[in-house]
Amino acid sequence: MSIAVDPREKIYQPPAAPLTSYLPVVGQTLEYVDSPLSTMFRRYRQYGPVSELNFLGRTWTALLGPDACQIALQNPEKAFANGPGWGYLVGPFFDRGLMLLDFDEHKHYRQLMQEAFVRPRLEGYARTLAPLVESGISAWKPGPAFQIYPALKSHTLDLATDVFMGGAELAEPGELERVNEAFVDCVLAANGWLRINKPMPLTKWGRATRGRRLLEDFLRRHLPARRANPGEDLFSALCQVADASGGIDDDDIINQMIFLLMAAHDTTTSTVTSMVYELGRDLQWQERCRQQCLELGPNPTMAEIEKVADLDLVMKEALRLHPPVPVLARRTVKDTEVLGVRIPAGQLVAVMPMLSHHLPEYWSDPEIFDPERFSDERREDKSHRFAWEPFGGGVHKCLGMIFANMESKLVLSALLRHFEWSVPLDYTPPMRNDSLPYPADGLPVDLRPLDRNRARAN
C-alpha cells in the first residue's frame, strides 16, 4: 500500500520563536496557540524534557517526552494533583468533575462511577447509540465543501443528549442549542486572560460562568425524571449508583454529568474529525474500512463494532497524530523531582504527551499516516509504555475510554456506509488551539453519496 507524504511534516521543523513568546505576561502563550507541536519540539530540543515556560500569565513547568510524562502520570510519590492544575484553567466550570478530584477522594468517586461504565451498561449505550447514529448521519446533505466539524459537533451533542440523558423531552425550544453554546463557552475559558467570576459577558471567563449556571439548571430540572423513570442512559445510571451507594448527592451527579458530557462531546467530535481528515487523504484506507463496515448492517452491536480491525487501527493512528487533549494540567502539592530537575511545591505543571506521539526515536516516519504501525506485527506503541497516551495515564486515565472508542467507531462506520469523501493532499486545516484543538474552517471535505453497487463490487 502506498502512503502519501503528509505536507504537515514541514511545520514540525520549529522556526525561530516569535518575539511575542518572550514578552512579559504573554510569555509563550501566542507561540503555543499558533502551533502547539512546534512549540513542544522547540522546547524539547533546546531545554530537554523539563523546562519552564510562561503561559497565561503564570510560570509552568513543561514535561516533555515519555519518560517525563510517565513520572507525572504514574505519580508514585503523589506529588502531582489534578484539581489545582486543571482548576487554574477550567476549575469553576467543571468543578468537582472526576478529572478535578485527587487521591482518596478521586479513588472513591471513580469506584462509584465505574458502575456506569461496566460492560452491560456499555452494551446498553450501544443499543441506544446505533440507530441514532444511523438516522442522524443518513440525513446529511453531502456537497463539495461539506464542513465536517460543525456537522459532527451538532450530531455528537444530539447523541450525548439521548445516550447520557435519555433524551431531553422536557427541553424547551432552542434550549439544546443554548446547552451546546454553554459547553463551548466552558471549554474556551481555559485560555481566558481575565479570570474574574463576575457577570462579564464579553470575556471568555464571564461567558463560561454564565454557561455553567445554564448547565446546572438544565440538568437539575431533568434529574427527577431520570431518577423516577430510569433507562439505559448514563444519567439514569449515575442516579442509580448514587441511590445505591449513598455516597453521591444530587450536586455530585450534576457535577459529574457536566464533566462527562464535556469530555464525551468534545473529544468524540475531535476524534472522528481527525479520522475523516486522514481517510479523506488516504482513499485506500478509507475503502478498506468501508468494506468491513458494510458487512455490519445499520445497527451494529458493541461486540460487532469492536471486531472491525482496520477501524481500530485508523482510530489509534488518528489519536496519535491528533490527540484531542494535547496537554494535561497538574500542580505539585509537595517538592518533587523529575529526571533530576527539582520542582517546588505549588508549581503549575504542563504534561505534554502530544510530543511523545511524534518523536522519531519511538515511531517510524512519525508524521506519516500509517495505521499499520499499531498492528500486531509492529506495535510501535509498545516502544515505550508512555509513547502513546491519548487518554492520559495512571489512576486518572480516562474512565470513559471504551465508551469514547465505541461512539467514535459507530459514527465513522455510519459515514463509511453512506458516503465517500476526499481531502486535497496539500490541504492542512487551520487549527485553533485556544481550547481543545479544532479546525477553524470547519474542515471542508468533498462529501459524496456512496455508490453502493460500486462499493460492493470492490
Instruction: Place 389 in a pLDDT band, splitting at 50, 70 and 90.
Output: very high
Instruction: Give me 78's grid cell.
Output: 503523589
CB atoms within 10 A of CB 328: 24
**Residue scoring higher pLDDT (319 or 213):** 319
Q: What is the pLDDT of residues 50-83, one digit of tens each?
A: 999 998 788 999 999 999 999 999 999 999 999 9
Percentage of the chain beyond pLDDT 90 is: 58
CB atoms within 10 A of CB 247: 12
Question: Average pLDDT for residues 200-209, to the nearest whole number?
Answer: 77
Q: Say how far residue 332 (Cα) sits from the centre of its chain.
A: 24
Q: Integer distance in angstroms from the first to the last C-alpha of the chain?
A: 16
Burial letters 207-234, b for 16+ CB under 10 A, else e = bbbbbbebbbebbeebbebbbeeeebbb
Lowest mean pLDDT of 82-91, 174-183, 362-371, name the range. 174-183
Dist CA 458 CA 444 (whole Å): 27
Q: Calculate ∠ Cα 295-301-302, nearest 5°.
A: 115
pLDDT at 236: 86
pLDDT at 304: 97
- When the candidates are 3.40.50.720, 1.10.150.120, 1.10.630.10, 1.20.120.530, the CATH number that belongs to 29-457 is 1.10.630.10
Q: What is the pLDDT of residues 81-122, one digit of tens each?
A: 999 999 888 777 888 889 999 999 999 999 988 888 999 999
Dist CA 278 CA 280 (whole Å): 5
Dist CA 149 CA 155 (whole Å): 10
Kindly state the DSSP code that residue 409 receives in the 8-state scheme: H
Q: Where are the domains of the chain?
A: 29-457
Is the alpha carbon torsion for 246, 248, 251, 254 positive or negative? negative
Q: What is the pLDDT of residues 210-252, one digit of tens each?
A: 888 888 998 898 888 888 888 888 888 888 888 887 778 899 8
Instruction: Give me 428's grid cell.
Output: 492542512
Lowest mean pLDDT of 68-77, 185-194, 331-340, 360-369, name the range. 185-194
**Residue scoring higher pLDDT (352 or 435):** 352
Nearest CA to 403 out of 95, 113, 75 is that of 113
- The amino acid sitting at 152 is L
pLDDT at 386: 98
> Structure pTM?
0.88
CB atoms within 10 A of CB 114: 11
pLDDT at 2: 33
Dist CA 224 CA 138 (whole Å): 33
Q: At which residue does the C-alpha cell 474574574 appear?
A: 196
pLDDT at 168: 58
Collapsed DSSP state (helix, strand, coil) of residue 362: coil
Q: What is the pLDDT of residues 255-270, one digit of tens each?
A: 888 888 777 778 899 9
Q: Calculate ∠ Cα 252-253-254, nearest 5°.
A: 90
Collapsed DSSP state (helix, strand, coil) of residue 95: coil
DSSP sequence for 173-200: TTHHHHHHHHHHHHHHGGG-S----S--
Instruction: Give me 342's grid cell.
Output: 527539582
pLDDT, averaged across the chain: 87
Dist CA 201 CA 208 (whole Å): 9
**Residue scoring higher pLDDT (24 or 147):** 147
Lowest mean pLDDT of 94-108, 364-378, 443-457, name the range. 443-457
